Amino acid sequence: MLEWVFASAPSGIALIEYDHHVGGTVVMANPALEKLTGYGAKELIGMPAFKLIPDADEETIVGRNELIAGKRSYWAGEVSVRRQDGQMRTMNLTISSLTRLEGSLVGIAHVSDVTDSQAQSDRIDFLADHDPLTGLPEAQHMERLLSEVVLAADGSDSPRALVFIDIDGLAFLNDRLGYDGGDQVILGVAALARAATGDTGTTVRIGANRFALLWPDMDAGETLNAASTLLHEVRRSVLVPTAEGSRTGGGVTVSAGVAVFGFGGEPVSPTRAMATADLALRKAKLGGRDCLVTMEVEDDPEGGSASADIRERVRLAVDADDLFSFEAQSIVDAPTGETIGHELLLRLDGGDGQTIMPAAFIPVAEATGLIRRLDRWVVRRAAAIAASGGIGGQGTKVWINISAQSLADERLAELVEDLLELYEIPADRLVLEVTEREGSLDFRDVGRMITRLREIGCSCAIDDFGSGYGGFDHLKEMAFDIIKIDGDFIEGLAHSPVDRAITSGIIAAAKAAGRSVVAEYVVDQQTLEILIEMGVDCVQGQLIGMPQPIYASGP
């Protein structure tokens, strides 16, 4: 039986003898190890281990020596194994159960190939820190650099400045040029910004059409000149492609917000500097666009400090595992009452026993470029929850809320696809919701990503339908699977003829478009019965079940 287990084991197994060679010699190998290494059994038996692991690092060598000396009972780690064809593969190696047999010290080695999963994990890590379209780093890189610059500038006589720029009218350009043309405009502006910062500064992408620029060794005056020159270069550059692939005309402009800091006095946090740059950028947009607005970080009378505190909390949370948490609320099939999934509702620990709700921290995250990192945090945790069987291990769907900014980012679809493969999760276990209230972003920008996610097998829902800016156009133009009716219409359904008429119209239009319909904020039996009669598919709300805290585990 032992011989049968040894021969049929799916992972590579070998007996290693340590008397004849300091690195160990293979004295027995199973078929799985032959397949992993490309060597036959006759070639493996008698082979010194260093031939398979030619580049063992110091940690591996120390661990093996401690094992041989009896200082530990096993050793495990990743090693680079050279196959018979010369290919290097990353493998998990565990050596254990060393014992004396007929005068020799023998151990059992277990080997499994993790090259592909490691590459996939590396890809996920890369996607978390880099923008795939422009190749630029993201907001967290700027935060680290800004921390160093702020520290150096505080108390000096030479103030520094942080610049935010935003492409004007990108939604209109997408309509005019198509998505590929819009991407070309983004790439063109990114190239000009990168050229402006050159070797002496840094450009990062912090939003769909937003960039941050910082010159660490330039004072505020020099930075203002450089930012003004950049606006001029964008204005005069030919960035608009034609259908034939050439470029014609100009027409692309950017707005800029500049935060000046480092005049001495109270230290300025990087978070406060970024919040001020964002506020200055918003004023530039309101002032007519294609212009530059400057603000001193101390001259922030419009609540920037509170926003900065929340932003700092969000920044800490996306890099931690214990500041964000989820509450789960049941979603049930309306006619049968069967639970079909749970919506994960994000909460932020504000400290001192306070909980910050999404209405407070999501707008701050969107304005300062943190939203995509936050959404990737949510996707990773949701995937881990789905992989463990969903809420309560019931195997039901996991619904998560995603910003339209993230849903318009191709990287999100890539991350979802990688996580589904990594965890071996059926794609239909994930439902991604985007709220209709986000009128600042043209919803057609997210259309191709919705299509891609649906091709992967995920479902996409539009939340708060009826409250936003696209109305019934979204039913025609966007490939959403599910319509979630805004709760304002549902709460008064039993008593308001107007709410009943609107809700009935939404359900009828959604059904005609082939969409499923979910009603939120169902608080009483009468409302539920009206919705069932109208033909709603699923419901959630106080009557169905209140949100319950869960632990947001995950990688």
Return the CATH number of the domain spanning residue range 2-113: 3.30.450.20
- Residue-by-residue pLDDT tens, the chain, 555 positions: 777 877 877 788 888 887 655 668 888 889 988 888 889 888 898 888 888 888 777 877 787 777 777 777 777 888 888 888 888 888 888 887 667 766 677 888 888 888 776 666 656 555 556 677 787 877 677 777 877 776 665 555 678 889 999 998 877 777 677 767 778 888 899 999 999 999 888 898 887 788 999 998 888 889 998 999 999 999 888 777 655 544 544 578 899 999 888 765 556 777 788 888 888 898 888 777 888 888 888 644 444 555 667 777 888 887 777 889 999 999 999 999 999 999 999 999 887 778 888 888 887 787 667 888 889 899 999 999 999 888 888 788 999 999 887 877 777 888 898 999 888 889 999 999 987 554 444 455 577 788 888 888 999 998 888 765 445 656 666 778 999 998 888 988 888 888 899 899 889 988 888 899 999 999 899 999 999 999 999 999 989 999 998 854 443
| CATH architecture under which domain 321-550 falls | Alpha-Beta Barrel (3.20)
Per residue, the 3-state secondary structure of 225-286, as one string, reads: HHHHHHHHHHHHCCCCECCCCCECCCCCCEEEEEEEECCCCCCCCHHHHHHHHHHHHHHHHH
Which has the closest alpha carbon to 295: 258, 267, 270? 258
* Residue-level pLDDT at 527: 93
DSSP code, position 130: B
Delimit the CATH 3.30.450.20 region(s) of the chain. 2-113
Q: What is the pLDDT of residue 554?
A: 40
- Its CATH architecture, for the domain 122-302, is 2-Layer Sandwich (3.30)
pTM above 0.75, yes or no: no
CA torsion sign, 339 to 342 to 343 to 347?
Answer: positive
Task: State which H helix or E strand residue 397 sits in.
Answer: strand 397-401
The residues of the chain that CATH labels 3.30.70.270 are: 122-302
In the three-class reduction of DSSP (H, G, I as helix; E, B as strand; rest coil), residue 27 is classed as strand
Which residues make Cβ contacts (< 8 Å) with residue 322, sequence separation at least 6? 349
Residue 439: predicted pLDDT: 42
| CA 293/CA 385 separation, integer angstroms | 45
Helix axis angle, 220-236 to 170-197, nearest 10°: 130
Question: What is the model's pLDDT at position 110?
Answer: 86
